[in-house]
Amino acid sequence: MYRILSQNEHFLVLAKGPGIGMHDEAGVSGLVSLVRADTGLELYPVHRLDKMTSGLLLLARTPQVNRALSMSFAQRQVSKQYLALSDCKPKKKQGWIKGDMQKGRGGSWLLTRSLDNPAISWFDSTPVREGLRLFRIKPQTGKTHQIRVAMKSIGAPILGDERYGGSPAERGYLHAWRLDFTLWDTPFAFECPPEPGSAFACPELAAAIARLAP
């Protein structure tokens, strides 16, 4: 379900597995409850990842740290990078994706052309192998399903994300890859290689990630 990648007196950094929600649902413990039970710590989620999304997750250990980090996220002072796979050809290979988010049917969201309070993401991409493309997404805002809707809007829904038109797969191939932030003048940087999943395990992926890495 998760691994602890780093911890100190202020926060824990987890590698979240796909398929587990953040919070308790229908009698099933969510990730935050599981980590609290396993560690005996009172933890506060600073941000959230969708159930299908794997990768870096930050949990604060005190309300003070939670407020400080939450403010950094709200003020766009945190750098987030995600990796996604799609088996569809995108309308463009890199650039900005901007638009307001509108509720659709069954809990889904739509990206509109208006820019009153837009979701904003930047992305670039590179081929992995025939029929599979890797995307790096840098969301500038934190709207619900933002990356998933953005990928659909460029004609490249995430592999396994059937809610937004992705081809069936054993998981949704969206991964929180890198996280950079500052807490009380101390900089932190974390990276978590994408896993699990057969498509993330393909031998060509490492070279594709290297082409996108700064």
* DSSP string covering 41-71: ---EESS---TT-EEEEEEESSHHHHHHHHH
What are the C-alpha distances in Å from 199 to residues 23, 38, 123, 128?
Answer: 27, 30, 20, 10
Q: Which residues are catalytic?
A: 50
At 53 the pLDDT is 97
- Whether 99 and 105 have beta carbons less than 8 Å apart is answered as no
d(CA 10, CA 8): 5
**Degrees, nearest 5: CA angle 105-20-167:** 55
Tokens of 108: 């889904």
Please, where are the H alpha helices in the chain? 31-39, 63-74, 146-153, 205-212
Q: Which amino acid is at 137?
A: I
pLDDT tens digits in sequence order for the chain, 214 residues long: 899 999 999 999 999 999 999 988 888 889 999 999 999 999 999 999 999 999 999 999 999 999 999 999 888 889 999 999 999 999 999 999 999 999 988 889 999 999 999 999 999 999 999 999 999 999 999 898 999 999 999 999 999 999 999 999 999 999 999 999 999 999 999 999 998 999 999 999 999 999 987 6
